[in-house]
Amino acid sequence: MGDFDIAVMIQKITVFVIPALLAITVHEAAHAYVAKYYGDDTAERMGRMTLNPTVHIDPIGTILLPLITLLMPGGFFFGYAKPVPVIASRLRNPRSPMVALAGPMSNLIMAFAWSILLFVLGYFVVDTQSNFFYKVASVGVIFNLILFAFNMLPILPLDGGRVLMGLLPANMARSFAQLEPYGMFIVLGLAFMTGGLLFNYWVYPIVDVAQSIINLILYPLHALFA
């Protein structure tokens, strides 16, 4: 019985870890690739322009913090990877939001890819509820959509904050940048101390809209194979 419980626990962890590592790795690598495309090769020279997850893992933010938050009441998940180094002054357009957008957009694309796999597995697999790959794909969709929505929050140092800073007039952007040292405290406060305000009024609504758009795009496939 004990061996069985351990096996079940390992499978549950694996179902989460596979799509989570892939989501985080592609997210950070996307920042690096787009930064190089726009003129800054700092991330590449530091070995961060890679799909090797080990170079993007932060021991505290990627391992310890997610485990702690998952064990807290409510099963809330919070974590982060090592930020990709970008020197804005080396970019062809230092105020362009494209480098910041690259990470969240990669997660949106991955959510779409996982959704396609989910559709294929749902069509060919008889018992989807117990199928390991179906479970992985399901987690892949929701994890990437949450990562997309969370990172688009317009608060520095999140990607959404950097996108907003690039869109603001220069004088307003400089004032906004002064809030960055307090940004993560604001995010944590919204997440932990406001009764789920961050998730209920930002993350989950964006996830629902994104999921609806993906479902709409995939509707012809569902209609074709219904």
DSSP-based three-state secondary structure for 157? coil
CA dist 203 and 152 (Å) reads: 9
Annotated catalytic residue, options 23, 25, 26, 28: 28
Yes or no: say if 77 and 70 are a contact pair by the CB < 8 Å rule.
Answer: yes
And the tokens for 74? 């409510």
Among the listed residues 208, 207, 188, the one whose alpha carbon sits nearest the alpha carbon of residue 198: 188
Yes or no: say if 91 and 39 are a contact pair by the CB < 8 Å rule.
Answer: yes
28 catalytic per annotation: yes
CA dist 148 and 115 (Å) reads: 15
Percentages helix, strand, coil for the chain (3-state, rounded to 5) are 75, 0, 25
Q: Which of the residues are catalytic?
A: 28
